[in-house]
Structure 1
Amino acid sequence: MNYKHISLIVCFFSVLTVEAQQSDTTISFSLKEAIDYAQSHQVSVLNASIDEEIAKNTVKKTIGIGLPQVNGNVNFQDFLKVPTSLLPGEFFDKPGTQVPVRFGVQYQSSIGIEVSQLLFDGSYLVGLQASKTFKELSNKSLKRTRIETAVAVTKAYYSVLVSNEQLSLLDANISRLKKSLNDTQALFANGFVEKIDVDRLKVLNNNLETERENVIRLLELNVNLLKFQMGMNIHSKLKLKDSIASLQVEESINLNDTTSYQNRIEYSLLQTQKKVNELDVKRYKSLFLPSLVAFGSSLQSLQSQNFSALFDRSFPTTVVGLRLSIPILSGGIKNYQVKNAKLELLKTENNLINLKNGINLEVEQAQTVYRNGLKSLENQKRNMELAQEVLRVSKIKYEQGVGSSIEVTSAETSLKESQNNYINALYDLLINKVNVDRALGKIVY
């Protein structure tokens, strides 16, 4: 094995080692850091950035149409059979006959350059304006993609936080239930309780253990979803810096905001689309205008019967001029193009009205759902606290011999249900808060 092969093997294993180290490294993100990471790694954002660059290049390409155009050309011809023409015999004292005469030489070549400059073209001038508007449109599309990515990452981040909270509650329940189960088994061993009391607690414990396993799998799925939304390799290890306790829930929101549609990137995009439609109308109207082009060319013609003498003499030709193109008749095509462009503009204006109404409805709906969710969370939190108190009292009564095991197991079941209801209400409220911010146009990137 030579040195080159050894070097390749060393490099290969070095790459594997680096990748293994990266996959073993746990990366911690706050919500803001996760969103910032997604803005530079999510494929949809990267592609939107590429589209923006394409739009910039399109503007430059359109500008280039109005700049001087220069073309060079070289031509070489070898007439294996020189063209022959018939001339009247009177030229050769042979009246009444046709005399074949060859015109030209076997070898011909030419070298030239052509220059043209667009002086006036209405569609080009409108095209310049449209290209800049197209650039603006792509820029706003990038912003919309960034906002959508931020929303998706935020919701996925909240899903992980809620799953973590649910897992913590289950662990606390299991720990408490195991203690109750151990105590009850001790009482059963001494003949103070029946076996059915132990069995009831075992059933509850088994159910909690199964639910915990399900939540762990769901948590893993939510973490992978978050990594996907961030544009991170799903095999990487991710840890969240934030917690449910660190999140701030607004208890009051603006209920009378009727101008929020102006903050929405979708509305701004449609306004830009309207500009594009207006420029389309102008562009098609400009097709009725004449266009003017200045041109010039210089040509060196080389001709010879012998190839060796082809470059001995040249015959120059130089021309400059103006070309005016005046549209006269197009079969009504341009008229219908203008009409269709105006109809497209009308459609966009209708879409703007509809979008404005839709955004106002979305804001009202999001605010209503958020207010209801806030009340529901408060109620479920109180229910959970009451269920904890009922369980505490039921245990005391059972231990003092004035209560039954059924009351304890029923209280355990009620507590678990109230905790699940609280978790669901918490998740709904967090997601609804994102929906409210998005509807009001508060999410800006």
Structure 2
Amino acid sequence: MSGISSVYGQVDTTLPGTYAFNLEECVQYGLAHQRDVVNARLDINFSREQVKEATGKLLPHADINASFTDNMKLATSLIPDIAGGDFNRKIPVQFGTRFASAVTGQVNQTLFNSDYFLGLKAARVYGGLAEKTYNRTAIDTRVAITKAYYAVLTNEENIRLAKSTMEQLKKTLSDTRARYDVGVAERIDVDRITVSYNNIITDIATQIRVLVYTVQLLKFQMGMPQQSKLELKESIQDLNVTALAITDTTYRVQDRVEYNIQLTQIALNELSLKSKRMGYLPSLSAYVNYGFNYFSTKFGDLYKTGFGASALGVTLAWPIFTGTERLHQIRQNRITLEKSHNDLSYLSEQISLEVTNANTAYQNYRAQYLTQKTNMELTQGIYDRIVMKFEQGVATSLDVTSAEKDLKDAQVEYVKAMLNTLTSKTDLDKAMGRIR
């Protein structure tokens, strides 16, 4: 992993190029470039910023407010005529000045607010959820790349086997034509073998087109540009499929990332319930401000003299009664929490069923693979002996073409069983939580 990481540090692997990777290098490339993994990694960074945002709410908040007022026409009020001694008589008066301005700076500090503190804790739990979600995405990506990688290797093996049969058939066809030219073989023998030869040529061309697609699929799963050239360092023989065997099927549900994600969801639901319960608690905050007030009858003289003002205070807010809204919200959160516990129990049963199903499929496919491998070897021996007998004049061309068809069918079933074995093993490893 360190070797391929150093390569990524030296070149831009998002650009088209030529790469030669084994399975683990394909996986590491995918974990660095596959779109879903990249987005999941960005979600982790996003959640970290949310934690910082929640922390920032507990820090002091400062703001400056300024105002300017032009009282183009002062408001008039009626007051008793105190100066004239007639209190029953009302006289109109105007208070204030035409121009007024104020500048005030204030610092607020939350001393206690249950939502702030629980929000900080919830943000941290959500950060853990983002990391677990990233792990699940990485696991899914690893599985998808592994299966696509196996598909490429088995298609290459299919082509190799078909080409081997083609070479044998080509030799038989050449020998038959030579014997026909000297009058030893019949025209029907040449035609029958020619038909088989033409069919296998077509099959190989078809398999090559399928191989091109499987390589494209592998590059897609890796997040590699389709213009890039990808070569695999391994062949199917390097995997030694026959030796692959899972005998220990013990597992722990805790090893499955989905189980841990559900545990985190329960923790979030618990915090949500706690937040609603603590909503009945008061919130306490302190503030201090300082500012200047300016007054003048003329705009040019407005800011010549300022009158300072300052205040220090504490604010307490206590929601004594908010109807029954919060009560019902608490009950809703309790139901949600209970459902999340039920989902966890259901998930445990689902994982158990997945392991059983994956193990059954793997054991069946592996048994089929061992059988088909033996069958292919036997069919190859039968084909070789019939070709030998045909060359000796003991067998007919019909025997050769029939044996060739049986060999081709055996090779197809062998490769199919091999791919099913490899993919089912991958599914079993994932079900047991062994893919990290």
Q: Deviations over 1:82-110 (max 9, x none)?
A: 22223344555676654332221121111
How do residues 73-88 of structure 1 correspond to structure 2 at under 5 angstroms? 73-88=65-80
Q: Deviations over 1:269-312 (max 9, x none)?
A: 11111111111111110101111111122121011111111112
1:172 equivalent to 2:164? Answer yes
TM-score by length of structure 2 reads: 0.93
Match of 1:427 among 419, 426, 434: 419
Match of 1:127 among 96, 119, 131: 119
Q: Tell me how far 1:181 sits from its aligned partner.
A: 1.2
Q: 1:376 to 1:91 in 2, by over 3 A?
A: farther
Q: Which residue of 1 aligns with 2:195?
A: 203
Q: Tell me how far 1:256 sits from its aligned partner.
A: 4.9
Q: Tell me how far 1:26 sits from its aligned partner.
A: 2.1
1:115 equivalent to 2:131? Answer no
Q: Deviations over 1:387-444 (max 9, x none)?
A: 1111111112212222111111100000000000000001001101111111111111
Q: Which stretch shifts more, 352-361 or 170-179?
A: 170-179
Contact map agreement 1:260 1:360 (CA 8 A) in 2: no
Q: Which residue of 1 aligns with 2:258?
A: 266
Q: Tell me how far 1:55 sits from its aligned partner.
A: 0.5
CA–CA separation in structure 1 for the residues paired with 2:19 and 2:221: 15
Match of 2:246 among 244, 253, 276: 253
Match of 1:297 among 289, 292, 317: 289
Q: 1:271 to 1:95 in 2, by over 3 A?
A: closer
- 1:135 partner amino acid: G
How do residues 136-285 of structure 1 correspond to structure 2 at under 5 angstroms? 136-249=128-241, 250-257=243-250, 259-285=251-277
Q: 1:326 to 1:109 in 2, by over 3 A?
A: same
Q: Which residue of 1 aligns with 2:303?
A: 311
Aligned length: 423
Q: Which residue of 1 aligns with 2:21?
A: 29
Match of 2:392 among 386, 400, 407: 400
Q: What are structure 1's unaligned runs of at least 5 residues?
A: 1-17
Match of 1:391 among 383, 387, 393: 383
Contact map agreement 2:152 2:215 (CA 8 A) in 1: yes
Q: Tell me how far 1:251 sits from its aligned partner.
A: 4.5
Match of 1:340 among 316, 332, 347: 332
Contact map agreement 1:109 1:302 (CA 8 A) in 2: yes
Q: Tell me how far 1:156 sits from its aligned partner.
A: 0.8
- 1:240 partner amino acid: L
Q: Which residue of 1 aligns with 2:370?
A: 378
TM-score by length of structure 1 reads: 0.91
Contact map agreement 1:255 1:367 (CA 8 A) in 2: no
CA–CA separation in structure 1 for the residues paired with 2:244 and 2:231: 29
CA–CA separation in structure 2 for the residues paired with 1:333 and 1:241: 65
Q: Deviations over 1:193-229 (max 9, x none)?
A: 2222222112211211111111111111111111111
SS at match of 1:287: helix
- 2:371 partner amino acid: N
Contact map agreement 1:161 1:244 (CA 8 A) in 2: yes
Q: Which residue of 2 aligns with 1:71?
A: 63
Q: 1:94 to 1:199 in 2, by over 3 A?
A: farther
Q: Which residue of 2 aligns with 1:352?
A: 344
Q: Which stretch shifts more, 204-213 or 80-89?
A: 80-89
Q: Deviations over 1:132-168 (max 9, x none)?
A: 1111111111111111111111111111111111111
Match of 2:32 among 4, 29, 40: 40
Say what the alpha-carbon RMSD is for the aligned residues: 1.8
Q: Which stretch shifts more, 99-108 or 226-235?
A: 99-108
- 2:91 partner amino acid: V
